[in-house]
Amino acid sequence: MDLGLKGKSAIVTGASLGIGKAIALALGREGVNVALNYRKHAEEAQAQVREIEQMGARAIAVKADVASFGDAEAMTKKVVETFGGLDILVCNAGVNRDAVIWKMSEQEWDEVMDINLKGYFNYIRSAAPIFREQKHGKIVCVTSINGLRGKFGQSNYSASKAGIIGLAKSVAREMGKSSVNINAVAPGLIETDMVREAPDKVKEMALAEIVLGRLGLPEEVADVVVFLCSEKARHITGEVIRVDGGQYI
Protein backbone atom coordinates (compact mmCIF):
# COMPACT_ATOMS: atom_id res chain seq x y z
CA MET A 1 0.00 0.00 0.00
CA ASP A 2 1.43 3.35 -1.08
CA LEU A 3 1.24 5.72 1.89
CA GLY A 4 2.14 8.75 -0.21
CA LEU A 5 5.17 9.65 1.90
CA LYS A 6 7.86 9.69 -0.78
CA GLY A 7 9.77 12.97 -0.80
CA LYS A 8 8.51 14.12 2.60
CA SER A 9 11.01 15.22 5.24
CA ALA A 10 11.09 14.09 8.86
CA ILE A 11 12.88 14.52 12.16
CA VAL A 12 13.07 11.50 14.47
CA THR A 13 14.50 12.09 17.93
CA GLY A 14 16.40 9.35 19.72
CA ALA A 15 16.86 7.61 16.38
CA SER A 16 20.15 5.77 16.85
CA LEU A 17 18.77 2.72 18.70
CA GLY A 18 15.64 0.76 19.52
CA ILE A 19 12.22 2.09 18.60
CA GLY A 20 13.64 5.33 17.18
CA LYS A 21 15.93 3.40 14.86
CA ALA A 22 13.03 1.26 13.64
CA ILE A 23 10.92 4.38 12.99
CA ALA A 24 13.70 6.13 11.06
CA LEU A 25 14.31 3.08 8.86
CA ALA A 26 10.58 2.52 8.29
CA LEU A 27 10.14 6.13 7.14
CA GLY A 28 13.20 5.83 4.91
CA ARG A 29 11.71 2.71 3.36
CA GLU A 30 8.68 4.81 2.38
CA GLY A 31 10.92 7.33 0.64
CA VAL A 32 10.98 9.91 3.44
CA ASN A 33 14.11 12.04 3.89
CA VAL A 34 15.05 11.50 7.53
CA ALA A 35 17.03 13.58 10.01
CA LEU A 36 18.11 11.33 12.85
CA ASN A 37 18.73 12.93 16.21
CA TYR A 38 21.23 11.31 18.53
CA ARG A 39 23.17 12.28 21.64
CA LYS A 40 25.71 9.49 22.26
CA HIS A 41 25.58 6.80 19.58
CA ALA A 42 27.17 8.51 16.58
CA GLU A 43 28.32 5.33 14.83
CA GLU A 44 24.88 3.75 15.05
CA ALA A 45 23.22 6.91 13.74
CA GLN A 46 25.61 7.11 10.79
CA ALA A 47 24.92 3.45 10.01
CA GLN A 48 21.21 4.29 9.81
CA VAL A 49 22.01 7.20 7.49
CA ARG A 50 23.83 4.87 5.11
CA GLU A 51 21.01 2.33 5.21
CA ILE A 52 18.37 4.95 4.43
CA GLU A 53 20.47 6.33 1.58
CA GLN A 54 20.71 2.83 0.13
CA MET A 55 16.90 2.80 0.10
CA GLY A 56 16.97 5.85 -2.17
CA ALA A 57 16.02 8.53 0.36
CA ARG A 58 18.21 11.23 1.88
CA ALA A 59 19.32 11.17 5.50
CA ILE A 60 21.45 13.11 7.96
CA ALA A 61 22.43 12.45 11.56
CA VAL A 62 22.46 15.43 13.92
CA LYS A 63 23.95 15.38 17.40
CA ALA A 64 21.65 17.34 19.68
CA ASP A 65 20.55 17.25 23.30
CA VAL A 66 16.76 17.06 23.19
CA ALA A 67 16.60 18.72 26.62
CA SER A 68 18.17 21.85 25.08
CA PHE A 69 15.72 24.32 23.55
CA GLY A 70 18.56 25.82 21.52
CA ASP A 71 19.70 22.46 20.16
CA ALA A 72 16.15 21.68 19.02
CA GLU A 73 15.83 25.02 17.26
CA ALA A 74 19.22 24.58 15.58
CA MET A 75 18.45 21.05 14.41
CA THR A 76 15.07 22.04 12.99
CA LYS A 77 16.68 24.94 11.11
CA LYS A 78 19.38 22.64 9.73
CA VAL A 79 16.80 20.10 8.53
CA VAL A 80 14.78 22.76 6.71
CA GLU A 81 17.95 24.09 5.05
CA THR A 82 19.13 20.58 4.09
CA PHE A 83 15.88 19.03 2.89
CA GLY A 84 14.04 22.18 1.86
CA GLY A 85 11.27 21.75 4.39
CA LEU A 86 9.80 19.71 7.22
CA ASP A 87 6.63 17.63 7.09
CA ILE A 88 6.93 15.10 9.92
CA LEU A 89 8.15 15.18 13.51
CA VAL A 90 8.48 12.01 15.57
CA CYS A 91 9.36 12.63 19.21
CA ASN A 92 10.82 9.43 20.62
CA ALA A 93 13.93 10.17 22.72
CA GLY A 94 13.58 9.08 26.32
CA VAL A 95 15.33 7.71 29.40
CA ASN A 96 14.34 6.01 32.62
CA ARG A 97 15.89 6.46 36.04
CA ASP A 98 13.87 4.04 38.15
CA ALA A 99 13.47 4.32 41.91
CA VAL A 100 10.64 4.24 44.42
CA ILE A 101 9.50 7.74 45.29
CA TRP A 102 11.01 7.74 48.80
CA LYS A 103 14.44 6.99 47.33
CA MET A 104 14.26 9.01 44.13
CA SER A 105 16.73 11.89 43.89
CA GLU A 106 15.95 15.31 42.53
CA GLN A 107 18.44 14.64 39.72
CA GLU A 108 16.68 11.40 38.75
CA TRP A 109 13.37 13.26 38.59
CA ASP A 110 14.73 16.25 36.68
CA GLU A 111 16.71 14.25 34.12
CA VAL A 112 13.70 12.17 33.13
CA MET A 113 11.44 15.22 32.91
CA ASP A 114 13.99 17.26 30.95
CA ILE A 115 14.51 14.58 28.31
CA ASN A 116 11.16 12.80 28.17
CA LEU A 117 8.79 15.75 28.49
CA LYS A 118 10.67 19.00 27.94
CA GLY A 119 12.48 17.35 25.04
CA TYR A 120 9.15 16.78 23.31
CA PHE A 121 8.08 20.37 23.98
CA ASN A 122 11.37 21.66 22.55
CA TYR A 123 10.94 19.92 19.20
CA ILE A 124 7.19 20.49 18.89
CA ARG A 125 7.74 24.17 19.68
CA SER A 126 10.41 24.44 16.97
CA ALA A 127 8.29 22.65 14.35
CA ALA A 128 4.92 24.24 15.16
CA PRO A 129 5.46 27.61 13.41
CA ILE A 130 6.61 25.80 10.24
CA PHE A 131 3.62 23.46 10.22
CA ARG A 132 1.21 26.29 11.05
CA GLU A 133 2.47 28.48 8.23
CA GLN A 134 2.46 25.73 5.60
CA LYS A 135 -0.94 24.41 6.78
CA HIS A 136 0.14 20.80 7.09
CA GLY A 137 2.29 18.57 9.26
CA LYS A 138 2.31 15.29 11.17
CA ILE A 139 3.54 14.93 14.74
CA VAL A 140 3.76 11.57 16.51
CA CYS A 141 4.81 11.29 20.15
CA VAL A 142 6.04 7.99 21.53
CA THR A 143 4.68 7.66 25.06
CA SER A 144 4.07 4.46 27.07
CA ILE A 145 1.26 2.43 28.57
CA ASN A 146 2.86 3.37 31.89
CA GLY A 147 1.81 6.95 31.19
CA LEU A 148 -1.77 5.66 31.15
CA ARG A 149 -1.65 3.46 34.22
CA GLY A 150 1.44 4.23 36.32
CA LYS A 151 4.20 1.79 37.23
CA PHE A 152 5.81 0.83 40.54
CA GLY A 153 9.27 2.40 40.79
CA GLN A 154 8.67 4.69 37.82
CA SER A 155 6.87 7.74 39.15
CA ASN A 156 9.18 10.04 37.19
CA TYR A 157 8.95 8.02 33.96
CA SER A 158 5.17 7.50 34.22
CA ALA A 159 4.59 11.17 35.01
CA SER A 160 6.68 12.23 32.01
CA LYS A 161 4.84 9.85 29.71
CA ALA A 162 1.46 11.00 31.04
CA GLY A 163 2.60 14.57 30.43
CA ILE A 164 3.37 13.70 26.82
CA ILE A 165 -0.22 12.56 26.35
CA GLY A 166 -1.54 15.84 27.76
CA LEU A 167 0.90 17.78 25.58
CA ALA A 168 -0.18 15.91 22.44
CA LYS A 169 -3.89 16.38 23.09
CA SER A 170 -3.48 20.09 23.80
CA VAL A 171 -1.38 20.70 20.69
CA ALA A 172 -3.90 18.72 18.62
CA ARG A 173 -6.54 21.25 19.65
CA GLU A 174 -4.26 24.20 18.98
CA MET A 175 -2.98 23.04 15.59
CA GLY A 176 -6.09 21.41 14.14
CA LYS A 177 -7.21 24.50 12.22
CA SER A 178 -3.84 24.44 10.47
CA SER A 179 -4.46 20.85 9.27
CA VAL A 180 -1.74 19.50 11.57
CA ASN A 181 -2.29 16.04 13.04
CA ILE A 182 -0.68 15.08 16.35
CA ASN A 183 -1.08 11.68 17.92
CA ALA A 184 0.64 9.50 20.49
CA VAL A 185 1.69 5.87 20.34
CA ALA A 186 1.88 4.01 23.65
CA PRO A 187 4.04 0.87 23.49
CA GLY A 188 4.05 -1.82 26.09
CA LEU A 189 7.23 -3.77 26.76
CA ILE A 190 9.17 -3.82 23.48
CA GLU A 191 12.18 -6.03 22.70
CA THR A 192 14.96 -3.44 22.62
CA ASP A 193 18.57 -3.69 23.79
CA MET A 194 17.60 -2.01 27.06
CA VAL A 195 14.80 -4.51 27.70
CA ARG A 196 16.98 -7.49 26.79
CA GLU A 197 19.37 -6.40 29.55
CA ALA A 198 16.57 -6.10 32.13
CA PRO A 199 16.30 -8.69 34.92
CA ASP A 200 14.47 -11.87 33.93
CA LYS A 201 11.92 -11.28 36.70
CA VAL A 202 10.91 -7.95 35.16
CA LYS A 203 10.40 -9.53 31.74
CA GLU A 204 8.49 -12.47 33.21
CA MET A 205 6.09 -10.11 35.00
CA ALA A 206 5.48 -8.17 31.81
CA LEU A 207 4.94 -11.33 29.76
CA ALA A 208 2.33 -12.47 32.26
CA GLU A 209 0.37 -9.30 31.47
CA ILE A 210 0.63 -9.49 27.66
CA VAL A 211 -2.41 -11.16 26.12
CA LEU A 212 -0.52 -12.13 22.96
CA GLY A 213 2.15 -13.86 25.06
CA ARG A 214 5.26 -12.18 23.65
CA LEU A 215 7.20 -8.93 23.73
CA GLY A 216 6.54 -6.44 20.98
CA LEU A 217 9.09 -5.62 18.30
CA PRO A 218 10.35 -2.10 17.52
CA GLU A 219 9.19 -2.57 13.93
CA GLU A 220 5.63 -3.14 15.14
CA VAL A 221 5.65 0.26 16.84
CA ALA A 222 7.25 1.82 13.77
CA ASP A 223 4.49 0.50 11.50
CA VAL A 224 1.86 2.38 13.51
CA VAL A 225 3.96 5.54 13.61
CA VAL A 226 4.45 5.49 9.84
CA PHE A 227 0.70 5.06 9.30
CA LEU A 228 0.00 8.08 11.52
CA CYS A 229 2.53 10.10 9.49
CA SER A 230 0.66 9.34 6.28
CA GLU A 231 -2.43 10.86 4.68
CA LYS A 232 -4.21 7.59 5.39
CA ALA A 233 -4.48 8.95 8.95
CA ARG A 234 -5.50 12.48 7.94
CA HIS A 235 -8.70 12.40 10.03
CA ILE A 236 -7.01 11.06 13.18
CA THR A 237 -5.71 13.54 15.75
CA GLY A 238 -5.40 13.75 19.52
CA GLU A 239 -5.43 9.97 19.85
CA VAL A 240 -3.33 7.58 21.93
CA ILE A 241 -2.85 4.23 20.21
CA ARG A 242 -1.54 1.39 22.35
CA VAL A 243 0.92 -1.06 20.77
CA ASP A 244 1.23 -3.49 23.64
CA GLY A 245 -0.13 -6.90 22.69
CA GLY A 246 -2.95 -6.36 25.18
CA GLN A 247 -0.64 -5.64 28.12
CA TYR A 248 -2.82 -2.74 29.26
CA ILE A 249 -6.09 -4.69 29.22
The H-assigned helical ranges of the chain are: 18-29, 42-54, 69-83, 106-112, 119-134, 146-149, 155-175, 193-196, 200-209, 218-229
Which residues pair with residue 19 across a beta bridge?
Answer: none
> Looking at 38, 120, 123, 157, which residue is catalytic?
157
Name the nearest CA neighbour of 33 among 55, 1, 16.
Answer: 55
How far apart CA 116 and CA 109 sit, in angstroms, is 11
For residue 233, the one-letter residue type is A
Query: 177: which residues sit within 8 A by CB, 6+ positions away?
Result: none
How far apart CA 21 and CA 38 sit, in angstroms, is 10
The reply to whether 157 belongs to the active site is yes
Which residues pair with residue 61 across a beta bridge?
Answer: 36
Name the nearest CA neighbour of 13 among 3, 27, 30, 29.
Answer: 27
C-alpha dist (Å) from residue 210 to 151, 221, 225 = 15, 15, 21
Catalytic residues: 157
